[in-house]
Amino acid sequence: MFDDRTTCLVVVGAQWGDEGKGKLVDVLAERADFVVRYQGGANAGHTVVIGDSQFILRQIPSGILHPQVTCIVGNGVVLEPETFFAELDQLAERGISTAGRIFVSDRAHLVLPYHKLLDAASEKSQKLGTTGRGIGPAYEDKYGRRGIRVTDLRRLECARALLADRVQRANRLLELLGSAERASLEQHVALLERLAPRILPLAADTGLVVDRAVKQGRRVLLEGAQGSLLDVDHGTYPYVTSSNTTAGGATVGAGIGPTAVHGVLGVVKAYTTRVGNGPLPTEAGEADGERLRRLGGEFGAVTGRARRCGWFDATVVRYAARVNGLTGLAVTKLDVLDSFAEVPVCTAYRLEGEECEEMPAEVDALGRVEPSYQVLPGWSQSTGEARRLADLPAAARAYLDRLEALSGVPIRYVSVGTRRDQIIEV
Ligand code: IMP
C-alpha cells in the first residue's frame, strides 16, 4: 500500500499507542524517501529492532535507520532539544550517520524544563498518568500563543526576553499548583545558548520541503505518535495526550494540505494495551493480563511503566477507522497470542442494557460499558517464522479474518515478532 500510486502515506496508531508504529515505519521506510513526524514529542518511544540491536526513537522519525531516508521533525511536534540531541548522539555512537538527512521545522515549539516541572505539578491534582515529558504544558503554551519556537533561536536576545517572561509565569503557576519546585531563568538561558548552535543548522521550512517531495512523487511517510484513542479531540478525554494523533493532524503537523495524502495505514495490536489512566473496556483479568504483559514485553519504552493489557476491541478500531479514514490495517504482535487456547474479541459494547455501537463521548460512560465477546479458538503454534498468510495456522488466519470483518478495513500487514524480517505483507 506504499507504492507508485500511494506515495504519501500516513501511519497512525489505531488504539491507545504502542501498537508497533515504529516497526511498521521502519519496514515501509525501506522504500521511502522521507519520513516525517507530525505531532507529539519525547513522550513517544518507537522501538525498532534490527538483528540483535534495539533502537528506541523518541523524537527522531523511525526512518532514520535507512540511509536513503531524509527525516523531518514537523511543525506539529513539540521538540525537547536535549533529548533530541542525546538521541542523535546515540545513533552516531552506533555508527548511524544522520548528517544532511535530518531537519527540524523552524515552526516547531520547544519543550523546556519548566514544561516538565509544570507537567509534574499538574499530575498531583489531575492524575492523568502522563509520561512527565512536559507535553501538555508545551502544547498549552503553543495554543495560548506564548510558546517558544525553533525560529526564535535565530534571535537569541528575543528568545532571552521571551524566556524571562515564560519562566516567571511558570513559577507563578508552580506556586499556584502547590509545587515547591521553581524554574531557573539562568538555567533556561544557558540551555538555549548552548543548544541554538546545534539546532539552527537543522532548522528549515520543512512544510516546503515535504510539499515539494510530495509534488515530485517522492515516497513520503507521515509517522504518527501515540494512538487515536489518545487524540485530544477523538480520544478518551481528558485521559489523552495534547495533540491530534489522528490522520487529520498529519497534514497540519507536517505542513502540507490534506489532498496530498493517498492512504492511511492504521496500526493495531492483535490485542489491546494502554499505559496511563483512563478507561480500557477490554482490560483482561489479572492472570491473562499478566500473561499478555509478560509475553508481549508490555512495559513502556519511555517510562518503563507496566502497560495495562486486554483483548482486541473492535469498537475501538471501527471508531479509529472512521476518525482516521483508514485505508489499511497493520496487525502487530500476533505471535504474542500463540500460546492462548482461546482468544476473546470484543465485537460491541452494551451500556445500561442497550447495544452501544459507537464510542461514547463521556469517559465515565466508556468506563461503564460491558464488552460483548466472541471467543475464537487459539492456534497453539508458533507464528514467528510465517512470511506469507498461507504459512499461518488456519485458526490464526481465521482470527485475522474476524478482526478484518469487524473493523471494516483490509489487513495489509501482519507482524509476527519484533525483528524487521518478521512481517507478512498481504
Ligand atoms: P502525555 O502525552 O505525556 O501528556 O501523556 C498523556 C497520556 O498519553 C498518558 O496516558 C500517557 O501514558 C499516554 N501516552 C503518551 N505518549 C504515549 C505513547 O507514546 N504511548 C502510549 N501512551 C502514551
Instruction: Give DSSP secondary structure letters for 290-359.
Output: HHHHHHHT-B-TTT-PBPEEE-EEHHHHHHHHHHHT-SEEEEE-GGGGTT-SEEEEEEEEEETTEEE-S-
User: Can you give the pLDDT at residue 300?
Assistant: 87
* Residues assigned a catalytic role: 18, 46
- Cα(158)–Cα(312) distance, rounded to whole angstroms? 50
Could you tell me the three cell numbers for 363? 469517559
Segment among 68-77, 114-123, 357-366 with least mean pLDDT: 357-366
* 48: pLDDT strictly greater than 90: no
User: Can you give the pLDDT at residue 53?
Assistant: 87
367-371 long-range contacts, Cβ below 8 Å, gap at least 24? 367/279, 369/281, 370/281, 371/281, 371/282, 371/311, 371/313, 371/315, 371/346
- Cα(274)–Cα(297) distance, rounded to whole angstroms? 13
User: Can you give the pLDDT at residue 409?
Assistant: 98
Residue closest by Cα to atom 17 of ligand 1: 226
Segment among 41-45, 241-245, 300-304, 366-370 with least mean pLDDT: 300-304
From edge to edge, which strands make up the β-sheet containing 203-204? 203-204, 102-105, 70-73, 34-37, 220-223, 8-13, 263-269, 328-332, 411-415, 423-425
The residue whose CB lies within 8 Å of the most ligand 1 atoms, and thus the one to mutate among 128, 241, 277, 302, is 241
Could you tell me the three cell numbers for 303? 517510562
Residue pLDDT, tens place only, 12-29: 999 999 999 999 999 999
Listed in sequence order, the DSSP H helices in 360-393 are: 363-368
Which domains does the chain carry? 8-105+202-265 (3.40.440.10), 109-199 (1.10.300.10), 268-425 (3.90.170.10)
User: Can you give the pLDDT at residue 426?
Assistant: 95
Residues with Cβ within 6 A of ligand 1? 17-18, 43-45, 128-131, 133, 135-136, 225-226, 230, 239, 241-242, 275-276
**Average pLDDT value for residue range 263-279:** 96
Taking the CA atoms of 302, 306, 312 and 317 in sequence, report the sign of the dihedral they define.
negative
**Average pLDDT value for residue range 283-300:** 96
How far does residue 277's CA lie from ligand 1's centre (Å)?
Answer: 9
User: Can you give the pLDDT at residue 338?
Assistant: 98
**Average pLDDT value for residue range 407-422:** 96
Provide the pLDDT confidence category of residue 139 given band limits of 50, 70 and 90: very high
Cis peptide preceding 258, ω within 30 of 0: no
Taking the whole predicted model, whether its pTM rises above 0.95 is answered as: yes
**Average pLDDT value for residue range 256-265:** 97
User: Can you give the pLDDT at residue 218?
Assistant: 97
- In contact, 337 and 419? CB cutoff 8 Å: no
User: Can you give the pLDDT at residue 266?
Assistant: 98
How far does residue 342's CA lie from ligand 1's centre (Å)?
Answer: 30
User: Can you give the pLDDT at residue 289?
Assistant: 97
**Average pLDDT value for residue range 3-13:** 95
Helix (H) or strand (E) holding 176: helix 156-176
46-50 long-range contacts, Cβ below 8 Å, gap at least 24? 46/21, 46/22, 46/223, 46/225, 46/301, 47/20, 47/22, 47/23, 47/301, 47/418, 48/22, 48/23, 48/420, 49/23, 49/418, 49/419, 49/420, 50/26, 50/419, 50/420
Strands 342-351 and 354-356: antiparallel
Provide the pLDDT confidence category of residue 109 given band limits of 50, 70 and 90: very high
Output the average pLDDT for the chain: 96
How far does residue 275's CA lie from ligand 1's centre (Å)?
Answer: 7
User: Can you give the pLDDT at residue 49?
Assistant: 86
* 319: pLDDT strictly greater than 90: yes
